Chains A and B, each alone.
Chain A
Amino acid sequence: MQGLGSRAVHEYFKDDFEPREHYRPLWEHIRQMGQSTLMRKVQEAHLAMLAEGVTFTVYNQGEEGIERVFPFDLIPRIITAAEWATLEAGLKQRIKALNLFLHDLYHDQNILRDGVVPAELILNGKDFRPEIMGIDPPGGIYTHISGIDIIRDDNGKFLVLEDNLRTPSGVSYMIENRMIMRRILPAFFEQYRVRRVDHYPALLLQALRHLSPRGAGAAEVVVLTPGIYNSAYFEHTFLAKEMGVELAEGRDLVVKDNVVYLKTTRGLKRVDVVYRRVDDDFLDPLCFRPDSALGVAGIINAWRAGNVALVNAPGTGIADDKAVYPFVPEIIQYYLGEKPILENVPTYKMTNVEERAYTLDHMAEMVVKPVSESGGYGMLMGPASTPAQRAEFAAKVQSDPRNFIAQPVVPLSRHVCYLDGELESRHIDLRPFIIYGGDDIHVVPGGLTRVALTKGSLVVNSSQGGGSKDTWVLANGEGASC
């Protein structure tokens, strides 16, 4: 990883170590605040999050589980109005195209017939669900809620690193981070007009109610969680609470005559919309994995009959399959006739003979990712790998090329963080959240800025020791000159 830091763009500083224009008021505040105050604020933030239970639980250290606060950095990341305008337009365009893509895949498959995306890539994908061919979800929408991972490359350009169209998490941290910043560091906001993010649950509820088969007026919405041992359980309770809807587990729901009901103390109550945070595989033991205890038997049939809306729709996983990712620019072009506003990270397809050969020759400069994993698991970071690890991955790639992609190591941009009493630079990315409602696509102005807390590391996933920052999107007329 040597040398990457110097290539990476710095979000905070210009080349001469002067803060960028839109960071200057913040910089002044930090300087005036001094060490002891900052240290105290860090402690306050930590205690506030612990008390509130903004935690995830690590279960492998003894039966009881250890509560960990998701590491939070005090120095906010600032995105100018102009930068945001580009991001917002690019994200909307991408989600619109991916939705059309999903609808096409589960209906006429024109894009496969036209050879834009290889048919065998889709039909052999483990996340393609032939069970749902021909079903029309309400409004033709498959991916109501998405989180798209954005990075800034060494030229300062925003690129899409990854699409998350299944059950992306992190939105609760986006909102919690802001609430904590407002409470403990209100002074930071003084010279900025920062756009709000905490209306996200209201937007989400509106989008969910809109999908009700009985009409938005009679919509019973529930959040479906795998349960308290799921690492995102905090987020599930957060969303249920903020929306004022029930938080159900699979065993709280029952399907009778293709209608989904909640088991309540007053009997069965009809359910119209299920925002499920359970993966496809576990959603319905009658349709997918028969051994799943997390799902609801018969819920897919209820969905097929049009009696319940499932959010996101089953089958969206094929569109965020990493092997499909390199085709997204063509997918946008195909359905919308537009050039992609946000580009991809250059990606080598292992199913392509030449690109595979090139990758195998340059393993030490590449990130090799298995297509079906998320959370940063099971990948090879070329520059930090040993020859033995590279040989192991080369063998894996050769025996199952469909299952891997490779990308040159992109030096993620860096940002100032306050760590252990020092101001340090760390690599960051950005996950904005997109809601595809009945009427329009909404991108909440903000997102989760993830931080690779280990010096030099490019891995930001919380499961791999990442943290996060509050993310400010400035209102128009502020910082536009930068």
Chain B
Amino acid sequence: MLSRMAESIYWMSRYLERAANTARLVEINLLHMIEAEDALTEENQWRPLLAITGMEQGYQERYGDAITAGKALHFMVQDAANPGSIRQALRMARENARIVRDRISKEMWETINEFWLTTQSNLTPTLRSDQAAEYCATMRREGARFHGHTIGTMMRGDAYLFYLIGTFVERADMTARILDVKYHTLLPKGAAVGSALDYYQWAALLKSLSGFEAYRRLHQGGMNPAEIVGFVIFSEQFPRSIRFGAEGVGKALAKVQKGAGRGKSLVAMQALQDHLESHGGPEQIINEGLHEFLQGCLGRINDVNLALAHDYFDMFGNDDLAAVAEQTQ
């Protein structure tokens, strides 16, 4: 397929996944806030979310240092000037869908188009905080509807493979970020380990990844940080674990790669998988530094992203053109 189309499909699925993941994150945070906790200020409640989604600096530039729930919510969900907001991620997903419109099914196009048009009109007035959680849930469902239509109607060619790659890259990235930031805020207060607050925070983390119930079923011993870390990073069954995402990308890449000349992406992918396997169990990772381990994951995910551009999206820089043409004659 056309390189530009492959790139747009990849970004369409990444942005859509990002919008849905951010919506879930915000939704869980809002629900979690409903019951009072002394230790939890608005600032403590929202700063981690801004950090996870890489919006901390953007927020500060716009509103200064003080973080309030209302501003953070507006900024993350509907601010048209914030390129990371759910609204803007969705807009980018839809713009990319428009570019590849002739390569995706009618159902996919109509779903994402309607999703954007209703979001655009619903998010023009400021969202009421008591309706925000429900609205985030709606957006999550719409994202899932698109995903369902994709699975049900999209031809299983290269375009579909790039869709999967985009989805899994974004998912692995988001999972690593959520775990990194939450773990930071969770662990330092040694005194709180095992407390009610600790329990709810871990539960919120799992819910942010739609993994709460699955975790409970697998691990009956309560909220054990090492088990949670193991589950979120390594589970082969949990579709939002980092390993699951890495394997999803790896499988799709291997199929795309057949018949194509360059293989930087496969190498970059292998590096991520090696990184996952190179550390013992979750206890060892926690002892040696979970933050460093997760940063290692994020760096390698970014390498995959760059390698994809090199191999597929932007492989025709002037210098390379002659070589590639020779290859394909």
Complex Cα distance, B1 from A465, in Å, reads: 38
Q: Decide if A241 touches B101 in the complex (CB within 8 Å).
A: yes
Q: Please tell me if A265 contacts chain B, counting CB pairs below 8 Å.
A: yes
Q: Please tell me if B325 contacts chain A, counting CB pairs below 8 Å.
A: yes
Q: Decide if A265 touches B80 in the complex (CB within 8 Å).
A: no
Complex Cα distance, B5 from A266, in Å, reads: 13
Contacts A53-B113, A254-B321, A265-B260 known; A240 to B2 CB distance under 8 Å?
no
Q: Please tell me if A339 contacts chain B, counting CB pairs below 8 Å.
A: no
- For chain A, the count of residues having a C-beta within 8 Å of the partner chain is 29
Q: Of all chain A residues, which has the CB nearest B315? A: A263
- Select B102's contact among A247, A261, A266, A268, beta carbons within 8 Å: A247
0/1 string, B87-106, CB within 8 A of A gives 1 = 00001000100110110001
Complex Cα distance, B4 from A262, in Å, reads: 10
Chain B residues in 8 Å Cβ range of A64: 80, 91
Q: Please tell me if A248 contacts chain B, counting CB pairs below 8 Å.
A: yes
Q: Of all chain A residues, which has the CB nearest B328? A: A267
Chain A residues in 8 Å Cβ range of B261: 267
Complex Cα distance, B321 from A261, in Å, reads: 11
Q: Decide if B260 touches A263 in the complex (CB within 8 Å).
A: no
0/1 string, A227-270, CB within 8 A of B gives 1 = 01000010001101100001111011010100001111111110
Q: Decide if B2 touches A252 in the complex (CB within 8 Å).
A: yes
- Select A262's contact among B2, B91, B114, beta carbons within 8 Å: B2
Within 8 A of A (CB), among B10-60: none
Q: Decide if A263 touches B316 in the complex (CB within 8 Å).
A: yes
0/1 string, B299-329, CB within 8 A of A gives 1 = 0000000000000100110000110110110
Measured CB to CB, the closest approach of chain B to A354, in angstroms, equals 53
- Select B2's contact among A50, A228, A246, A256, beta carbons within 8 Å: A246
Chain A residues in 8 Å Cβ range of B316: 254, 263, 268
Contacts A53-B109, A237-B101, A248-B2 known; A265 to B95 CB distance under 8 Å?
no
Q: Please tell me if B292 contacts chain A, counting CB pairs below 8 Å.
A: no
Q: Please tell me if B256 contacts chain A, counting CB pairs below 8 Å.
A: yes
Q: Decide if A240 touches B102 in the complex (CB within 8 Å).
A: yes
Complex Cα distance, B321 from A228, in Å, reads: 26
Chain B residues in 8 Å Cβ range of A228: 95, 98-99
17 residue pairs from A and B, CB less than 8 Å apart: A53-B113, A67-B117, A237-B102, A246-B5, A252-B4, A256-B321, A256-B322, A256-B325, A263-B3, A264-B1, A265-B1, A265-B6, A265-B312, A266-B259, A267-B328, A268-B324, A268-B328
Tell me the B residues contacting A by CB distance below 8 Å. Answer: 1-6, 80, 91, 95, 98-99, 101-102, 106, 109-110, 113-114, 117, 158, 162, 256, 259-261, 312, 315-316, 321-322, 324-325, 327-328
A52-B113, A265-B312, A268-B325 known; 11 other A-B pairs, CB under 8 Å? Answer: A53-B110, A228-B98, A246-B1, A248-B2, A252-B3, A254-B321, A263-B3, A265-B6, A265-B158, A265-B162, A265-B256
Tell me the A residues contacting B by CB distance below 8 Å. Answer: 50-53, 64, 67, 228, 233, 237-238, 240-241, 246-249, 251-252, 254, 256, 261-269
